[in-house]
Amino acid sequence: MRRDIFQAIADPTRRAILVLIAVHAMTPNAIAEHFDITRQSISKHLRILSECELLAQKNEGREIFYELKLEKMKEIDIWLDQFRKIMEAQFQRLDEVLFTIKNKKK
Amino acid sequence: MNLLFDFRVDKETNTIHITREFAADLDVVWDAFTKAEILDQWMGPKPYRVQTKEMDFRVGGRWLYTMITSDNEAPTRYSLAEFIEIHPKTDFTTKNSFSDENGNPVNSGFTFSMTKNTFKAGVEKTTVQIAKKMSSLAELEQFIAGGYYEKGMAMGMNNLDEYLLSLVVSK
């Protein structure tokens, strides 16, 4: 199954996890404390985020800390920026069309 | 004339908000967004342009169109806009999806989006606000990738290259 950043942010729990760990690295237990769902489903969300390559793992002693790979989050903005450019170019064409219509009326 | 262009994405509600001013009267801009013969002249990202197959602008009616690069090209994919609400010269709302040439749904992985276009008359200009709500941001990616670049045209990739380059340069 294809995993990408858009699947990562498609789910509200995963979005909330991303917001949490964007501030500082956290252990799975500390993350789970913020949610009213099973530890198992938190693990599932963490696995998906990891498969989307959004999580970096750090080991400190026996504890695993997850942190957010910020550069990866930029992929979303890349796509959005493309869409913005598409709309920009399209509207410039409309400007020309409107200009032509106005001139015909005169 | 300096024309406003604002593009905002609300990732929480999967909605894209676009505001754009046009240097024309409300009547003309309204027609440009609702009449097939004008839509065909400007809609679609270069090198694509829109070619209308059916247009029935009324509540319950639909606009069926495709994107082509030249006249002698056989279209493979169609887009459908169903008119859900229309308040003449004020706003209209469409449900947008991909379809076959008869407007039947196709399995594109994309469900649908809802688009509301609002028009406001100003002094020698008209402001258009577009709110496009996708079912998810993943669908926005598919919308961009599937709707516009399926033929493997380089445009999208060029934009991506430019963007990546700008990141590198700004570092």
Predicted confidence (pLDDT) per residue in B81-120, tens digit: 999 999 999 999 999 988 889 999 887 666 788 999 999 9
**pLDDT (tens digit per residue) in A81-100:** 777 887 888 899 999 999 99
Q: Does A99 touch chain B (CB under 8 A)?
A: yes
Q: Does A94 touch chain B (CB under 8 A)?
A: yes
Nearest C-alpha in B relative to A87: B45
Structure-block tokens of residue B48: 């694509």
Tabulate helix, strand, coil % of chain B (nearest 5). 25, 40, 35
User: Is the Cβ pair B137, A87 closer than 8 Å?
Assistant: no
Query: How far is Cα B77 from Cα B99, in angstroms, rounded to an integer?
Result: 7
User: Out of A10, A76, A86, whose CB is closest to B148?
Assistant: A86
| Length in residues, chain B | 171
Contact present, A100 and A94 (Cβ < 8 Å) = no
Q: Does A97 touch chain B (CB under 8 A)?
A: yes
ipTM exceeds 0.95: no
Q: Does A86 touch chain B (CB under 8 A)?
A: yes
To the nearest whole Å, the CA of B71 is away from the closest chain A CA by: 18
pTM exceeding the 0.90 threshold for the entire prediction: no
Lowest-confidence segment of A53-67, A73-87, A89-103, B153-167 by average pLDDT: B153-167
What residues contact residue A91 under an 8 Å CB cut-off, 6+ apart? Answer: B5, B20, B22
What average pLDDT does the segment B35-57 reach? 87
